[in-house]
Amino acid sequence: MDKRIKLAFVILCGLLLVGIGLYFIASPILEERRATSPLNLPGEIRPSVARTSQPGGAVGKTAPAPAKLEPASPETVARELLQYHARALVERIGSGSNRDGFRGYRDAMLDATKDGRVVLQREQAELQKKHPATGSAFGISTRAVSSQIVEGEFGNARLVMLVQAIQREDAGEPSAPIRAQAKEVRMTYVKQSDETYLIEVLEWKDVGL
């Protein structure tokens, strides 16, 4: 073998041994530095999303929070109160007996205009004539089931409310009615100077059950 080749081979083996020695010397130092260096965290950390179990073991996202309810406007509250008033008035007028002279009509006078009181007094007188206090016991009871404005709008000078109700007749015992009839009551309200509404016209109509 040529002397130059032998010399090159010896030098190469020596460099290889030196490299192996340096690796074993530097390895503990590199491990120590890696252990003390900060963790490599992602730039943005997002919270985990809770999941709910679905039928069959499936997993889905958490249901969204319920929508925040907005409070009703004063106009909406006032309109609903007027509708409630109409139902209550129909029940008051439509409940009574010949023994008390159908007192509900008298109680409703405060909720009527001058012309409305005339209408109520006429209806009361007709009932008293048909079912006199000295005759057989007779009574009526009325339950309103719905009410809605059918003409005009709340805030107008005049509007019409339609109330649907069930009226029962009895022979002196309200718990044992002898007849039931569905009613539609058409009520005309007139706005007053103090912004309240009073009844001016009241019309009863029989409808099918």
Is 142:127 a contact under the CB 8 Å cutoff? Answer: no
Quick: pLDDT tens for 188-207. 999 999 999 999 999 999 99
Mean pLDDT score of the chain: 81
CA distance 59 to 53: 5
Neighbouring C-beta atoms of residue 167, cutoff 10 Å: 22
Secondary structure element (H or E) that encloses residue 27, with its range: helix 3-36
Q: Is 38 helix (H, G, I), strand (E, B) or coil?
A: coil
Give the chain's length. 209
Quick: pLDDT tens for 134-168. 999 999 999 999 999 999 999 999 999 999 999 99
Is 166:145 a contact under the CB 8 Å cutoff? Answer: yes
For residue 184, give every residue at least 6 positions away whose Cβ sits within 8 Å of its Cβ, in sequence order, or none. Answer: 162, 163, 164, 165, 204, 205, 207
Global pTM value: 0.65
